[in-house]
């Protein structure tokens, strides 16, 4: 899309020059347009870095944006800065490293404890694998282990078709959660889900035929649990399906949010 926009702008400008609407030489046009292009790239990568919470596009922003602005200032005779002076921007690398360390966190490790086979239940040995992966893509992995994850900033989504439901314990500082159990492959056992976050919203969709036990609380915010709604003074709701103890497939959910809302609905 960006490439198409650039071609469109260049094409229109060259057309206006050829028919005499604007009086610029080809060389003057590109000298004027290229710095603007660098600034445009810098803004686009800045938006991408903020939206994706990624430090990769930020480095391009820190280079393209000041480089384009300095070239524009040079054209206006305010400073002296040519295309060949790009090497003078090397301190930007130090700025980028500092910003990355302060505001961007690397993906946390997921500790996956492999379930023992019945034949090995008497053994005290337990195999532990450590993976670096994004919880958003966990549904694609078809993993059959318990998941534990600690993150500072992360959004967690489980809404792929036939994603495997397994016990999980997720702790974040800031993050939104969306779990659609109607699309999950739910095992014939009690599955424990624990979610804890200082700031974030939680939304869950639970099938009508799945018994659940839910303990949800938030310090600042509101909770809507099926037809129940928390009071403003005590945002804490507990629910248990009447047939929970007899259920074969059932889910035990615990949610603790510092600031945020909790929405759980039946589908």
pLDDT per residue as tens digits for the range 28-71? 666 677 788 888 888 888 888 787 777 777 888 888 888 888 88
Q: Are residues 15 and 129 in the same domain?
A: no
Q: Which of 103, 128, 152 is the last residue of a domain?
A: 103
So what's the pLDDT on residue 161?
86
**Angstrom distance (rounded) from CA 86 to CA 155:** 37
- Specify the 3-state DSSP secondary structure of 177: strand
Q: Are residues 154 and 260 in the same domain?
A: yes
The residue among 146 and 101 whose pLDDT is bigger is 101
Task: Look at the chain and report how many structural domains it folds into.
Answer: 2
Phi, psi dihedrals of residue 250, rounded to the nearest 5°: -150, 155
Q: Are residues 91 and 113 in the same domain?
A: no
User: If you average pLDDT over residues 11-16, what whole number do you get?
Assistant: 75
DSSP state of 209: T
So what's the pLDDT on residue 141?
42
Q: Are 176 and 151 within 8 A, CB to CB? A: no
**Angstrom distance (rounded) from CA 253 to CA 266:** 14
Is the pLDDT at 173 greater than 70? The verdict is yes
Both structure tokens of 76: 């206006």
pLDDT band, residue 169 (cuts 50/70/90): confident
**Angstrom distance (rounded) from CA 178 to CA 136:** 10
Of 200, 215, 191, 194, whose CA–CA distance to 264 is shortest? 215
So what's the pLDDT on residue 252?
92
The alpha carbon of 149 is separated from its chain's Cα centroid by a whole number of angstroms, namely: 15
Q: Are residues 56 and 167 in the same domain?
A: no
So what's the pLDDT on residue 254?
92
Q: What is the residue whose two structure tokens read 């305010």?
A: 78
pLDDT band, residue 204 (cuts 50/70/90): very high
Of 219, 224, 206, whose CA–CA distance to 266 is shortest? 206
Q: Which of 76, 103, 130 is the last residue of a domain?
A: 103
Domain containing 178 equals 109-266
Q: Are residues 134 and 256 in the same domain?
A: yes
Q: Are residues 142 and 172 in the same domain?
A: yes
So what's the pLDDT on residue 233?
56
Q: Are residues 114 and 31 in the same domain?
A: no
Q: Are residues 35 and 164 in the same domain?
A: no
User: If you average pLDDT over residues 105-125, what whole number do you get?
Assistant: 42
How far is the CA of 250 from the CAs of 121, 192, 220, 237, in angstroms?
24, 9, 29, 19
DSSP state of 166: -
Chain segment 129-165, per-residue pLDDT in tens: 333 334 444 433 433 344 555 555 567 888 888 888 8
So what's the pLDDT on residue 25?
63
Q: Are residues 24 and 68 in the same domain?
A: yes
So what's the pLDDT on residue 105?
56
So what's the pLDDT on residue 230?
75
**Angstrom distance (rounded) from CA 85 to CA 70:** 10
Q: What is the residue whose two structure tokens read 């303990």?
A: 215
**Angstrom distance (rounded) from CA 176 to CA 199:** 8
Q: Are residues 55 and 125 in the same domain?
A: no
Q: Are residues 117 and 91 in the same domain?
A: no
Q: Are residues 65 and 143 in the same domain?
A: no
């Amino acid at each position: 899309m960006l490439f198409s926009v650039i071609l469109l702008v260049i094409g229109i400008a060259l057309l206006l020059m050829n028919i005499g609407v604007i009086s610029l030489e080809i060389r003057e046009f590109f000298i004027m347009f290229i710095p603007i292009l660098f600034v445009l790239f810098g803004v686009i990568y800045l938006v991408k870095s903020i939206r994706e919470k990624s430090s990769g596009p930020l480095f391009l922003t820190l280079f393209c944006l000041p480089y384009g602005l300095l070239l524009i200032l040079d054209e206006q005779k305010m400073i002296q800065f040519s295309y060949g002076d790009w090497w003078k921007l090397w301190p930007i690398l130090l700025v980028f490293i500092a910003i990355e360390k302060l505001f961007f966190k690397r993906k946390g490790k997921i500790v996956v404890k492999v379930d023992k086979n019945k034949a090995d239940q008497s053994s005290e040995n337990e195999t532990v694998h450590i993976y670096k992966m994004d919880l958003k893509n966990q549904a694609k992995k078809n993993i059959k282990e318990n998941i534990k994850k600690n993150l500072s900033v992360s959004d967690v989504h489980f809404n792929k078709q036939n994603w495997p439901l397994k016990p999980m314990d997720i702790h974040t500082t800031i993050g939104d959660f969306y779990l659609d159990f109607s699309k999950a492959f739910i095992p014939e056992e009690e599955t424990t889900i624990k979610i804890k976050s200082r700031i974030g919203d939680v939304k869950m969709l639970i099938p009508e035929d799945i018994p659940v036990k839910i303990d949800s609380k938030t310090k600042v915010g509101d909770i809507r649990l099926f037809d129940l709604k928390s009071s403003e003074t005590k945002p804490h709701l507990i629910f248990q399906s009447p047939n929970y103890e007899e259920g074969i497939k059932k889910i035990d959910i615990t949610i603790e949010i510092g600031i945020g809302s909790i929405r759980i609905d039946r589908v």
